Amino acid sequence: MKNPLAPLLRCCLAAGSLLFAPSLPAAESPRSGETGRYRNLFVELLGKTEAEVDAKLEAAFRKLFYGDPWNERLYFPGPDGTAYIPDVGNRDVRSEGLSYGM
């Protein structure tokens, strides 16, 4: 036996999906890869200044690349222009450690 309300239910579902479908943007904004300008979400969402963001990034970079090798540094250059990133949990070097660092 068919449910007599099935066609009505289908129509309601179709109408509802049209009402709640995301609207298309009016005009597509230029993409960051094309313009070379990237949004700084730390400034936009957290209200930080450019100087605060730059200082924090510089401090993190210095710590990871030039910091104390026992508890800060993650990048270790080799003698012949190579480098490695250790797996700190297992105290060895693994290929996935390098890919995570990239």
Q: Is 47 left (phi over 0), alpha (psi -120 to 50) or beta?
A: left
Is residue 11 a part of any domain in this protein? Answer: no
In a domain, 90, yes or no: yes
Q: Where are the beta strands (DSSP E) in the chain?
A: 76-77, 83-84, 86-87, 92-93
pTM to 2 decimal places:
0.57
Which tens digits make up the pLDDT trace of 5-60?
666 667 655 666 656 666 655 567 788 888 999 999 999 999 999 999 999 999 99
Quote the domain boundaries for residue 71. 38-101
Is there a domain that residue 26 lies in? no
- Of all helices (H) and strands (E), which one includes residue 69? none
| Per-residue model confidence as pLDDT tens digits over 57-85 | 999 999 999 999 999 998 888 889 888 88
Q: How far apart are CA 37 and CA 62, in angstroms?
A: 25
Domain total for the chain?
1
Length of the chain equals 102
**83 located within any domain:** yes
